[in-house]
């Protein structure tokens, strides 16, 4: 994998994410507490898309998106397959205002 070159595009629908994870990522204290207290069902993933490019064992995350309807997650950075190190940032973009 250290000398891998190429690219891959991933597309997914129909998955699920833990509700508590989604609420925590959106920094929604009220919904996080309710999700924890009620044991809320997983949140469906409307779509997920990733475009990964690899050169000399370095994977570049140029486009990475997961949309749940409540929150859209984007990510960027790189994965070094040579050293197995990650330098990735994931950002949550809530679609509704947070409640206290």
Tokens of 7: 């690219």
**pLDDT top residue among 100 and 14:** 14
The pLDDT-based confidence of 19 (bands split at 50, 70, 90) is: confident
* Predicted local distance difference test score (pLDDT) of residue 4: 82
In a domain, 42, yes or no: yes
Rounded to the nearest integer, the mean pLDDT of the chain is 81
Mean pLDDT of 39-68: 89
In a domain, 28, yes or no: yes
Q: Terminal CA-to-CA distance of the chain, rounded, Å?
A: 46
* Predicted local distance difference test score (pLDDT) of residue 69: 82
Q: Indicate whether 7 pLDDT > 80.
A: yes
Q: Domain count of the chain? A: 1
* Predicted local distance difference test score (pLDDT) of residue 99: 53
Give CA–CA dist 56/75, Å, rounded.
21
In a domain, 99, yes or no: no
In a domain, 15, yes or no: yes
Give CA–CA dist 18/95, Å, rounded.
17
Polymer length in residues for the chain = 100
């Amino acid at each position: 994998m250290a000398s891998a070159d190429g690219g891959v595009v991933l597309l997914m629908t129909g998955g699920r994410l833990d509700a508590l994870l989604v609420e925590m990522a959106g920094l929604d204290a009220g919904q996080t507490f309710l999700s924890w207290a009620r044991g809320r069902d997983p949140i469906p993933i409307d779509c997920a898309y990733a475009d990964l490019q690899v050169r000399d064992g370095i994977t570049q995350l140029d486009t990475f998106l997961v949309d749940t309807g409540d929150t859209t997650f984007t990510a960027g950075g790189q994965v070094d397959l040579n050293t197995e190190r990650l330098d990735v940032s994931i950002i949550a973009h809530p679609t509704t205002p947070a409640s206290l």
